[in-house]
Structure formats: structure tokens, C-alpha cells
Amino acid sequence: MTDHLGINLKLLCSHYRSVAEVCRKLDINRAQFNKYLSGQSRPTAYNLKRICDFFGVEAYELQQPPEAFTELVGARHGLAPAPVGGGPVSELFDQLGAHSTSMSRYCGYYFEYAHCMSVPGHILLSLVQVREERGSFLFERQERQEPSTADSGRVEDWVRCRYLGAAFYLQDRMFLIDYESLTGNEMSQTILIPSFKSRITRLNGLKTGVSSGDRRTPACTRVVWEYLGTQINRVHAYRQVMLYSPDDPRIDADIRERLSGAQIRHGLFEIA
């Protein structure tokens, strides 16, 4: 089990610049973390939870055999390395990026509020991070839902989604396109109206995608991004990622107002 955990942690760390960066963000001693990676030591329950919350995985998943865990997080073995030039898709988006204005002021963390596409009548709160990397702007969105069929209430029963994508600022609009990285079977697009105030608070926009139901029906809804800052308590923020009823007092009245009148139309990309 410990060997599996170490190998799986190495895979997760490979998505970051270095292990040192991960330790710095987690505020865990590098020497101690290296023992986790090598299988010499197992994290305490407290540190294990911090690690899971940071990477967006569950403790039981880290204990799976590496092959199963690799498939879970969407990594693929045996793929040929990307061409030096990046390939035609990369070149296509490079051209688009050349027309995109800098989004540096929008980097940081956000709560995303939207009408849930798979559970109509509920508001889904997601955690988003926008960052700049080598002149490009990337983002990650974490979703978490408790399935209605689960009666145990255990954390491992929750359905998680992790979206990775690119962001572009074109003609006074923010365009974001992403894909679900754990399964690789879904894409979505968000268009946001930027804030021209000196201080970013909330951004309004439109989001299209598909429901996670069996029919994978296309859907569309209004969306609100609430700016949290460039540095946040990720653990505390991730605990708030879930489904909420529209009248839940934890949903701010202004958020409710911004989402009001937004009806999800399945099969038709319309907003009421």
C-alpha cells in the first residue's frame, strides 16, 4: 500500500515544475515528503488529507495500484512524445494566442457558480485556478458532487471532475475551453465578461457543456466567477465545492440574482 502511494504521489507531482514547488505549496518538509515518495514513510491522517485536498484526489485512490491510478487521473502510457513544433493543434492555438491580450490581472483562484447541468434545480460550486505559464494562460477547475444514490455519506462515494484548459482574452471577452482530465470524455466552454474596475470581485458569463447523465445531453447556463485571491486556503475552499439548493443561505443573494432567469436548456443552447 505504501509503495503504491509513493508511486502515485510521484505521478501527481509530475504535473508541477518540481517536488520542491509541491512541498512549498503544501507547507510540508521536503525531507519528510521524500520519504512518502520513496515509500519509507506514510503520511499522518492530517497530512494525507492535506495532500489529497491539494491534488484533488481521495485517500483510497492513492492506495490503488499504479496502473489503475494512472488511468484514473487521465495519464496515458506509451504515447509518443509531442513533436518539437507542438503539432497542428498546438500551432492552431498558438495563432489564437497571438491575438489574445494578457490576462495577468485575472490570475488567481475563483469560486464558480452555475446551474448544475446533471442535477437541474441545484447550483454547483466549483473551484477554479487561473495561472500564467510561459506566456500562456491555463486554468484548472475542480468539481465535486455527492451522488443521490449514495446513502453512506462517505467521501469516497462523491463524484469528482477535474477540468484542465486554456484561457484567451479576445475583443474584451474572456474565452475558456477545457476538458475533463480524469476521463477524457468531455469538453466545455465558458465566456466571461471581464471587469473593468480596479478591483476584481465577480464576473458574469455563459457556460456550455454536457450533463453527466447517460444521454450526455448538451446544456447551457449562466455562470458567475467570484474572485478569491492569488493565495488561498485550498483545503478550506475545496470543502465548499459541492451542490447547493437554490435557497441555501450559503449562496449569496447577489450570486442568486446574477444566476436568476437562467434556465438550462438541454439540446438547445439558449438562455431564458
How many domains is the chain built from? 2
Residue 30 near residue 19, CB atoms below 8 Å: yes
pLDDT at 141: 93
Amino acid at residue number 255 = I
| One domain, residues 243 and 156 | yes
Q: How far apart are CA 9 and CA 41, in angstroms?
A: 13
| One domain, residues 52 and 103 | no
| One domain, residues 60 and 169 | no
CATH of the domain at 210: 2.40.128
Residue 79 counted as domain residue: no
| One domain, residues 34 and 143 | no
CATH of the domain at 64: 1.10.260.40
**What percent of the chain is helix, strand and coil (3-state, nearest 5)?**
30, 30, 40
Residue 103 counted as domain residue: yes
pLDDT at 271: 35
Residue 271 counted as domain residue: no
pLDDT tens digit at each of 272 positions of the chain: 447 898 989 888 887 778 888 898 888 999 999 999 988 889 999 999 889 888 888 888 888 888 888 877 764 333 334 444 557 877 788 888 888 888 999 999 999 999 988 888 899 999 999 999 888 899 999 998 775 544 444 544 567 888 999 999 998 899 999 998 877 778 899 999 988 888 899 999 999 988 766 667 788 999 999 999 999 998 899 999 999 998 999 999 999 999 986 444 444 333 33
Q: How far apart are CA 21 and CA 268, in angstroms?
A: 44
| One domain, residues 91 and 65 | no
Last residue of a domain, one of 72, 101, 121: 72
Determine the structural domain holding residue 48 and report its residue range.
2-72
Tell the residue number behind the cell numbers 477545457, with chain if given: 178
| One domain, residues 43 and 124 | no
The residues, ordered by sequence, that sit 6+ positions from 227 with a Cβ below 8 Å of its Cβ are 108, 109, 110, 200, 201, 202, 203
pLDDT at 189: 95
Residue 33 near residue 19, CB atoms below 8 Å: yes
Residue 187 counted as domain residue: yes
| One domain, residues 59 and 148 | no
pLDDT at 74: 62
Biggest distance spanned by C-alpha atoms of the chain? 57
| One domain, residues 125 and 253 | yes
Residue 221 counted as domain residue: yes
Q: How far apart are CA 247 and CA 173, in angstroms?
A: 30
The helix/strand/coil state of 14 is coil
Among 231, 236, 215, 264, CA closest to 24 = 231
| One domain, residues 55 and 141 | no
DSSP string spanning 118-169? SSTT-EEEEEEEEEEETTEEEEEEEEEE--TT--S--GGGSEEEEEEEEEEE
